[in-house]
A and B are shown apart, each in its own frame.
Chain A
Amino acid sequence: MTSQSLSALTIRNLHKSYGAVDVLKGINLEAQPGEFIALVGPSGCGKSTLLAMIAGLESVTSGEIRIGNRLVNSVPPKDRDIAMVFQSYALYPTMTVRQNITFGMESRGVPKAHQAEAVKHVAALLQIEALLGRKPGQLSGGQRQRVAMGRALVRDPKLFLFDEPLSNLDAKLRVDMRTEIKKLHNRVGKTTVYVTHDQVEAMTLASRIAVMHQGSVQQFDAAQMIYSRPANMFVAGFMGSPTMNFIPAELGDGAGRPCVTIRTVDGGTAALELAQPVPAGAPRNVVLGVRPEHIYRFSDDLKHRKRAIATVKAPVELVEPTGAETLAVLRFGDLEVTGRFDPDSAPGTGETMTLGIDMARACLFDPTTQSLL
């Protein structure tokens, strides 16, 4: 019971079904006070439904939602002490920015003097003082976003809920607002649940990420753990861009050391020495997961810098310079593998490269269960 009283939000074995369709299948999550949790996953994974259930906008089929210590399963949204920012911003179109921000306090009968004070504070925090007299229709996308956040902030709630708040903004503004949200969270320090389909947003903002797929949480962990030790192939493939390379491989012993054998383009094989001992109970056939940035141009210097470098030769099929880095499509057997290189050491098309793969960072997956070994 002690762990429960510490959490700002606890979700236990939560289910949601619409008729025969199970949308959420036993969700377990908790958030510490002040924590920033991201729910990330492809569309249709149930993340927005989960958020709506936390907000009280969707009913609970079974399971528990607790905000603080209080079971809120059947508490109406207005009594949950939450605030929410919507993807569409959901600003009341006929009201001014000021009225939008005070609407909630007005509903709750907060005295006028206090309302004015709160609006002033929030407007200063978000730098929207100049917009208070305008209608939402007269605001730009970024300004609407700020006002929507202002409306949430002014309540001083226990829990902040964000439903894909940045996905209606253009790319540049999205990055700016992302930084602002992070700054704001650092300053305000409220527990936040943030839904997004953008893994970069999740990585940059959240202290912990819940990766969702087909109605269940695939992994709930710190951002760096999600990235470096993904629980299964779905998480590994979803987080990171370009996506992790999955290479079918065979476990074996190379000169007494554990290694995996993969196919090379000439029909032969290459044995890559593993950095860790083979986990017990691992099948003979595995999937080797290598992120593009863990593939380097081999050099003696690399061998000194990294402790577990395995080498393999592969031809370069295509080169895609992006400025900061250069992506190269490499051929391993009949597979295409993407590598991410520094422009200085980038290969040319048609070159056959000797690659150094950082095996300390590589992951092994069971091809049948798809989970991490």
Chain B
Amino acid sequence: MAELALAIDLEAAAASRRHFWSRFAIYGLLTVFAAIYLIPLLVVVFNSFREQAEIARNGLISLPKTFRLEAWAQAWSTYCIAGTCQGMQRNFLNSLWMTIPATIISTLLGAVNGYVLSKWRFKGSEVLFTLMLLGVFMPGQIALMPWAFVLGKLGLTNSTYGLILVHVVQGISFTTLFCRNYYVGIPDDLIKAARIDGAGFWRIFWKIIMPLSPPILIVTVIWQFTGIWNEYLFGVVFTSGQAQPITAALVALTASGTTARSYDVMSAAVLIGALPPLLIYLFGGKYFVRGLTQGAIK
């Protein structure tokens, strides 16, 4: 008996040791990958606080020996990009003025489209939806020339309004897809009951559909905000100088170094540019994950 118990104990100990080492391997590997992802970010954060001279002396990748906030201030308001010395603030605001309206408008249009395509189907609405879906798979470059033409005709080149228009239209495919697929899960009986209750198209939208929409609207807003904020191609092609969004300006900044490159200011500028989507995700992230996994309404 005792021998048997001992054998079982040994067995159990071996199993728990194996378990420990397999866990160790998994977490070790995950740590390595996380580091690969995080170290560049860390380097940029460090450099934004280091003195330029110190960076030049110790190299780009090194632990900080000095600490100062000046690079941030410079990047924000005084650094010279292509001859104008106002820092990134103008471009940051451009990006905000572009991203916020474009996000709101494209999300609302997506919600209305989704509502129509799921609850007020008409002859050909499925075909229309399929066509709209094509936009999801279409790379932005394809639309460059047509947009150049349209913006030129409308007199909206080199303007934030032009970019808003581009991003609203380019975003509709995604927002419609998100909302439509979410609204399909709302029971049709609700709409029927509301119609019998005397509510029309818009009253049903505002009073029944919208109150049920926050999960999908949060997903859509995060998606659109991040996408539009980070977008570079349209920004750099359709605007220049003072009118550029921050992504385009960042590239101009890195290219404008006439003397030695100021890595400290560049690092701070990059972080300023990356901050808004990061904050959005930080505050909305849990809804984002929940929204993507949650389909139906109970």
**Cβ-neighbour of B193 out of A90, A94, A108, A137 (below 8 A):** A90
**Contact between A107 and B192 (Cβ–Cβ < 8 Å)?**
no
Q: Report how far A266 CA is from B211 CA in the complex, Å.
A: 72
A94 with B212: in contact, given A78-B198, A104-B198, A107-B199 (CB under 8 Å)?
A: yes
Residues of the A chain whose Cβ atoms lie less than 8 Å from the Cβ of B187? 88, 90
Q: Report how far A76 CA is from B204 CA in the complex, Å.
A: 15
**Contact between B203 and A107 (Cβ–Cβ < 8 Å)?**
yes
Q: Give, as a whole number of angstroms, the nearest-CB distance from B213 to chain A.
A: 10
**Cβ-neighbour of A78 out of B189, B190, B196, B297 (below 8 A):** B196
Q: What's the interface size class on B, roughly?
A: 10 to 19
Q: Give, as a whole number of angstroms, the nearest-CB distance from A139 to chain B.
A: 13
**Contact between B207 and A103 (Cβ–Cβ < 8 Å)?**
yes
Residues of the B chain whose Cβ atoms lie less than 8 Å from the Cβ of A56? 195-196
**Contact between B192 and A78 (Cβ–Cβ < 8 Å)?**
no
Residues of the A chain whose Cβ atoms lie less than 8 Å from the Cβ of B96? none
Q: Report how far A154 CA is from B189 CA in the complex, Å.
A: 19
Q: Report how far A57 CA is from B191 CA in the complex, Å.
A: 10
Number of interface residues of A (CB under 8 A): 24
**Contact between A103 and B196 (Cβ–Cβ < 8 Å)?**
no
* Interface SS, B side: helix
Q: Give, as a whole number of angstroms, the nearest-CB distance from A120 to chain B.
A: 19
A90 with B190: in contact, given A103-B197, A107-B203 (CB under 8 Å)?
A: yes
Q: Give, as a whole number of angstroms, the nearest-CB distance from A288 to chain B.
A: 44
Per-residue CB contact flags for chain A residues 55-75 toward chain B (1 = under 8 Å, else 0) read 111000000000000000000
**Contact between A137 and B298 (Cβ–Cβ < 8 Å)?**
yes
**Contact between A86 and B297 (Cβ–Cβ < 8 Å)?**
no
**Cβ-neighbour of A90 out of B192, B198, B207 (below 8 A):** B192
Binding site for B on A (CB under 8 A): 52, 55-57, 76-78, 82-84, 86-88, 90, 92-95, 103-104, 107-108, 137, 151
Nearest 5 pairs of A and B residues by beta carbon = A104-B197, A107-B198, A94-B211, A90-B189, A90-B193
Could you list some 21 contacts between A and B, CB below 8 A? A57-B196, A77-B196, A78-B199, A82-B196, A84-B196, A86-B192, A87-B189, A88-B187, A90-B187, A90-B190, A92-B190, A92-B194, A92-B208, A93-B190, A93-B212, A93-B297, A94-B212, A103-B194, A103-B207, A107-B198, A107-B203
